[in-house]
Amino acid sequence: MHNTDAPFDPREFRRALGMFGTGVTIVTTRTASGEAVGITANSFNSVSLEPPMVLWSLAKSARSLPVFQEAQTWNVHILSNEQEALSNRFARAGEDKFAGLQLDSGDGEAPLLPECSARFRCKTAFQYDGGDHIIFVGEVTQYDANGHAPLLYVTGGYALASRKSQAIASEPQADANAAYSENLIGYLLGRAHFQFLNGIRKPMSEQGLTDADFYVLSLLSIQQPLTPAQIAQHVAYIGIDIGQVALQSLARKGLVEESAQLPQALQLTAAGNESILHLLAAAKAVEAEIVDSLGEMDAVTLRNLLKKTIAATDPGLPKLWQAPAASAAEGAAQTVA
């Protein structure tokens, strides 16, 4: 183990402390003259239930220390995962942190910020010495909470939480040395994806559509018109060769047509538009079931992690959701009959 006698590396010590995940709070109060003061802190914790008490600590070197030492009341805000920018704003010194913020508090009261995961109005109960910090213990006089998934701070960076579930522990594995484990991310991605698709196979087959048809229609629902070459470029990574045949079949079904503005490029017909909206409604029903089962906190984290996985494996695909290129005809190398 590292000794904290000299020579002592504070950065390494902080890294070890950072293994303890925390939420992120903003603590606010007012100066004697009524000026709003606030600071980001993750040193918060609950202390007592009867009386209800919480604590946090502030560096003795902090400019706002004398304000908090004199203040009779202060508010703690547990930040939601959407308040990272607010956390950064209150972590920086100098600027007018409250500029443009709408407050839920009355004149002269300690500032109360909206949209937080939970909030606690406190009156100072104790101030204790804590080395180079002062520990503030407050008695909670009022509180509220909304369901917003909280922002976390873990190992030196912002983080999201997801519920850890015993119920989904690993299946007993007949051969622990088998090359193909159920913990392979590739397997888990494939199974989750195909089970998702499974939920929209019924409307797909009712419309006589293949997986490839679905990918092309959903692509055109985001960006159109697109040339066959552009469609192929977007869809190539799924391993399906969108050749003339598939596109001609969609045209024959009356779901896509040649663009009037951009010859050779394809767009959805009214029927094609209706068809993809119908399928997307089915997809959203599956999505709602998943979010319902996982909970909003886990859904936020899952989306975040899938986006990171996509970024980590991106073969350099064209952006899907950006405004269409100035001239879609640039990629026009193929035509559809």
Enumerate residues 85-114 that contact a second copy by CB under 8 A: none
Sort residue 65 into left (φ over 0), alpha (ψ -120 to 50) or beta: alpha
Please select the residue that binds a second copy; options are 137, 271, 325, 332, rule is CB under 8 A: 137
CB contact at 8 A, 259 and 225? yes
Q: Which is nearer to a second copy, 95 or 319 (CB)?
A: 319
For residue 177, with 0-12 CB atoms within 10 Å meaning exposed, 13-18 middle and 19 or more buried, which class applies? exposed
CB contact at 8 A, 258 and 221? no
**Binding window for a second copy (CB under 8 A); candidates: 28-36, 65-73, 218-226, 247-255:** 218-226
Min. distance of Cβ 335 from a second copy in angstroms? 25
Q: Which is nearer to a second copy, 92 or 319 (CB)?
A: 319
CB contact at 8 A, 162 and 303? no
Q: Which is nearer to a second copy, 107 or 132 (CB)?
A: 132
Contacts of 200 (CB under 8 A, 6+ apart): 214, 279, 282, 283, 286
Min. distance of Cβ 169 from a second copy in angstroms? 9
Min. distance of Cβ 337 from a second copy in angstroms? 27
- Which of 179, 114, 106 is closest to 144 using CA atoms? 114
> Could you say which DSSP state residue 76 is in?
E
The answer to whether residue 183 forms part of the interface with a second copy (CB under 8 A) is yes
Mask: binding to a second copy, 244-273, rule CB under 8 A, as x and -? ------------------------------
Q: What span, in angstroms and rounded, lies between the C-alpha atoms of 142 and 144?
A: 7
**Binding window for a second copy (CB under 8 A); candidates: 27-35, 249-257, 262-270, 282-290:** 282-290
> Could you say which DSSP state residue 296 is in?
H
Min. distance of Cβ 332 from a second copy in angstroms? 21
Please select the residue that binds a second copy; options are 252, 289, 330, 333, rule is CB under 8 A: 289
- CB half-sphere exposure, 272, CA atoms < 13 A: 27
**Binding window for a second copy (CB under 8 A); candidates: 62-70, 242-250, 254-262, 289-297:** 289-297
Mask: binding to a second copy, 7-46, rule CB under 8 A, as x and -? -x-x--xxxxx-xxxxx-x-----------------xxxx
